[in-house]
Amino acid sequence: MIPFFKRTAPVHDACALGRTAVALPLPPGCGAPPGCPVVIVDADGRPRRATTPAGKKVELRPGELAWAFHPGPYTIDVNPYAQAPEIGLRTTFAIDPQDPAAAGKRFDLYLAAEADGRVDLAALGAQVENAVRSALEQGALDLPPCADIDEWNAFRQGLNRLLYLRFGLTVDDCVPVELDDVDYAAQLAARAVPVAPAHVVEKVVPDVADAKSLRRLFLELPCLMCGLRLGALPSGQDQFRQQQALLQRLDRLAVELTTMPALVLAAPGQPLALDEQLRRMRHSRRATVALDEAWALLARLEGAQGERLAALYDEAERIVANLEADCAGRRAAKHVAEAA
């Protein structure tokens, strides 16, 4: 069985909540600080909100984990363009403790799928920055130079939807700023350092990286399907069939993930070579990149109609095809060379 939900031991530091930490794991029998909702993740990785009153001990069943999070607000500086480190977006966000989402509270899913112990504000800010950069590179967000008020409002609406659908964050404010603390000398020095070979870079523990990626796919795909089903109503029979076909393909992927082979085995009792383990890990990590693209696509589906909606469904076809290819590659025991 693949250890999807293996986590590090919890560390409790309530003083950091709401300042340097967004969420902290709760040790068994520990109560949450006042004003901090508690998310319990069961042994299968599915989250729920605790109903325990503030200050009371949180009771956990065997295999369950709990996080307490502070709703904020928090302020981070996001650099949307790596090539322009002096440009920043000072972004203030909060986490709605009473999130009414019918398909489940998105921040709770983020904790279940991605949190591995304490969730620091700096680490979450880096993930937000990467999501914004990726969306701008792929055209999911548009922030033209010297944007007028309409262009800025369109960017803000897209940013709001992206950060909610990807992380469960509600943006309260976002203003352009010049980042005064940019260390240009350090950036130039970092560029001068030679890039390590791929086999050295991937000496991160492959089974841990692989399990984290598969855990995200296993937990997030069903929610992604729900979002695709509710995100935008197809116009016409052809688009309806396209949507249904996409949902069926995602459903098959979700089922296949439950029977994904262990990273270290080519077959029962037959170990897999290390280079093939690394190849499998690369496939699972690339699949999570496609997963992130899918969340960004959902943020664009809301209110889309006509040709724009058709283009977004075509983009969904590409993303689902990438998910299928990488999940098939992760399942394969050996690399299959492309035909000449």
For 133, the 3-state DSSP assignment is helix
pLDDT over threshold 50, residue 11: no
d(CA 169, CA 107) in angstroms, rounded, equals: 7
pLDDT over threshold 60, residue 7: no
221-245: string of b/e by CB count within 10 Å (b at 16+)? bbbbbbbbeebbeeeeeeeeebbee
For 146, the 3-state DSSP assignment is coil
The phi, psi pair for 119, rounded to 5°, reads -105, 105
d(CA 290, CA 160) in angstroms, rounded, equals: 20
Roughly what angle, to the nearest 10 degrees, separates helices 274-301 and 306-331?
160
- How do residues 207-219 score in pLDDT, each as one tens digit? 899 999 999 999 9
| More confident position, 72 or 123 | 123
Residue 190 banded pLDDT, cuts 50, 70, 90: low
313-330: string of b/e by CB count within 10 Å (b at 16+)? bebbeebbebbbebbebb
The pLDDT of 209-234, averaged and rounded, is 89
Strand partners, 173: 92
pLDDT at 49: 86
pLDDT at 246: 93
Token pair for 330:
């992760």
| More confident position, 184 or 34 | 34
pLDDT over threshold 50, residue 44: yes
Give the contacts of 238 (CB within 8 A, at least 6 positions apart): none
Residue 55 banded pLDDT, cuts 50, 70, 90: low
| More confident position, 179 or 77 | 77
pLDDT at 230: 82
Q: What average pLDDT does the structure give for the chain?
A: 84
pLDDT at 292: 95
- How do residues 118-176 score in pLDDT, each as one tens digit? 999 999 999 999 999 999 998 889 988 888 899 999 999 999 999 999 999 999 999 98
d(CA 145, CA 139) in angstroms, rounded, equals: 15
- In single-letter form, the type of residue at position 155 comes to F
User: How many helices (H) and strands (E) would you count in the chain?
Assistant: 9, 10
Chain centroid to CA 158: 17
Token pair for 329:
């590659």
pLDDT at 59: 82
**318 half-sphere exposure, CB direction, 13 A CA radius:** 9
pLDDT at 337: 43
Residue 1 banded pLDDT, cuts 50, 70, 90: very low
Token pair for 26:
């709760």
Q: What is 84-123 written as a DSSP string?
A: -TTEEEEEEEE--TT---TT--HHHHHHHHH--S-EEHHH
Residue 206 banded pLDDT, cuts 50, 70, 90: confident
Please state which of the ranges 157-161, 185-189, 299-303, 310-314 shows the lowest mean pLDDT: 185-189
The pLDDT of 56-64, averaged and rounded, is 83
d(CA 43, CA 65) in angstroms, rounded, equals: 8
Q: Where are the domains of the chain?
A: 14-69, 74-184, 198-331
Please state which of the ranges 98-102, 175-179, 217-221 shows the lowest mean pLDDT: 98-102
Taking CA atoms, 18 is separated from 56, 65, 115, 155, 325, in Å, by: 20, 20, 17, 27, 41
